[in-house]
Amino acid sequence: MEFTAEMIAALVGGEIVGDKQVKVSTVGSIDGGREGALAYLTNPKYEPFVYTSKASIILVDKTFEPKQPVAATLVKVADVGACVLSLLEMYNAARPRKTGISRMASINERAEVGEECYVGDFTVIEAGAKVGRDCQIYPQCYIGDGVTVGEGTKIYPGVKIYEGCRIGRNCIIHAGAVIGADGFGFAPKPDGTFAKIPQLGNVVIEDNVEIGANTCIDRAKTESTIIRSGVKLDNLIQIGHNVEIGANTVSSAQMGIAGTSKIGSNCFVAGQVGIADHVTIGNGVRIGSKSGIDKDVADGEIRFGYPALPGMQYHRSFAVFRRLPELEKKVRELDKKLTEE
């Protein structure tokens, strides 16, 4: 789909500098723009690319004044970042939408699939499953017995949702995610072997949740593992049994949460964070990458490091321990002088 500079300016309330009829059909970065692409300048350090970019249209701040000739048409706006988001949403909405149920899908006669759904090749929907209207279920997915999927949810190829789990409305689950596999529960026996603890609960994912590729969310031992509304989980995340993640919390890749821990709402958890079992993290908490959390964290706190420390304490400690080799050398020199005296 093509958009002219005039159309874009009208959509974002921008001012055109250049050819208002120039057309674009895709979005690109300012440093790698090509003809027919819309680029944007959000960081001043990338300004030199404005003068060399081959992009046809560039979004810039309304205060931007070029220091050199610019080949592209400029569209000046009040907030470049917000305008880019709006345009990307519009472009995404205009993309062709898959429709129809494949003859190579296996849908149990006791399953329910709503109107206007897409179900791809080799997807299996088991007995008692209920899929709401306008869902997109891509090839090779598995929807287990009694699973419910809310309307407008998109499930990408290879997703596996085990029996009894509940997925809300307008969720996105990316390729390879596994929802509802058994929690990691084993009881040691006197002979040194382990007895498997049955995992009888399920996973409940509320509305507007996005789950990244190859992320795993384990079913509860009893009751439910719960992912509240608006949560965004990156790729390669492990969520243990009976965990609860509060509304609108965001986590980067490779975070792991052990069983029965709880994270509050509106938290940000960076990449490769590890959270021990039975830990409670409050609302609005920020946790830096590679931190290890083994104790409860109060509302609004910041944690860094392993074991994780409060933000400023960590930075003060880091200022010391990064100089430990130098300090050790000085201590040895002082010790040698004291011994000689």
CATH number at residue 127: 2.160.10.10
Residue 137 lies inside a defined structural domain of this protein: yes
Q: Does residue 287 sit in the same domain as residue 160?
A: yes
**What's the pLDDT at 157?**
98
Residue 39 lies inside a defined structural domain of this protein: yes
Domain of residue 310 covers: 100-314
Q: Does residue 108 sit in the same domain as residue 228?
A: yes
- Burial class of 100 by CB neighbour count within 10 A (0 to 12, 13 to 18, 19+): exposed
User: One digit per residue, pLDDT tens: the chain, 341 residues?
Assistant: 788 999 999 999 999 999 999 999 888 888 877 889 999 999 989 999 999 999 999 999 999 999 999 999 999 999 999 998 988 888 787 778 888 999 999 999 999 999 999 999 999 999 999 999 999 999 999 999 999 999 999 999 999 999 999 999 999 999 999 999 999 999 999 999 999 999 999 999 999 999 999 999 999 999 999 999 999 999 999 999 999 999 999 999 999 999 999 999 999 999 999 999 999 999 999 999 999 999 999 999 999 887 777 878 877 877 787 788 888 888 888 888 888 76
Q: Does residue 149 sit in the same domain as residue 22?
A: no
**Residue finishing a domain among 72, 93, 114:** 93
Q: Does residue 262 sit in the same domain as residue 164?
A: yes
Q: Does residue 80 sit in the same domain as residue 217?
A: no
Domain count, the chain: 2
Q: Does residue 126 sit in the same domain as residue 220?
A: yes
Instruction: Using alpha carbons, list the distances in angstroms from residue 4 to 20, 87, 294, 301.
Output: 7, 12, 54, 47
**Residue finishing a domain among 93, 113, 132:** 93
**What's the pLDDT at 34?**
85
Bond before 48 cis per omega within 30 degrees: no
117 within 8 A of 131, measured Cβ to Cβ: yes
Q: Specify the CATH number for the domain of residue 30.
A: 3.40.1390.10
Q: Does residue 48 sit in the same domain as residue 115?
A: no
Catalytic choice (174, 241, 278, 315): 241
Residue 203 lies inside a defined structural domain of this protein: yes
Q: Does residue 73 sit in the same domain as residue 119?
A: no
- Whole-model pTM? 0.83
Residue 194 lies inside a defined structural domain of this protein: yes
Q: Does residue 26 sit in the same domain as residue 84?
A: yes
Residue 329 lies inside a defined structural domain of this protein: no
Residue 323 lies inside a defined structural domain of this protein: no
Catalytic site includes residue 174:
no
Residue 75 lies inside a defined structural domain of this protein: yes
Q: For strand 160-161 and strand 178-181, is the pairing parallel, antiparallel, or unpaired?
A: parallel
**Residue finishing a domain among 65, 93, 121:** 93
Q: What is the DSSP letter of 67?
A: S
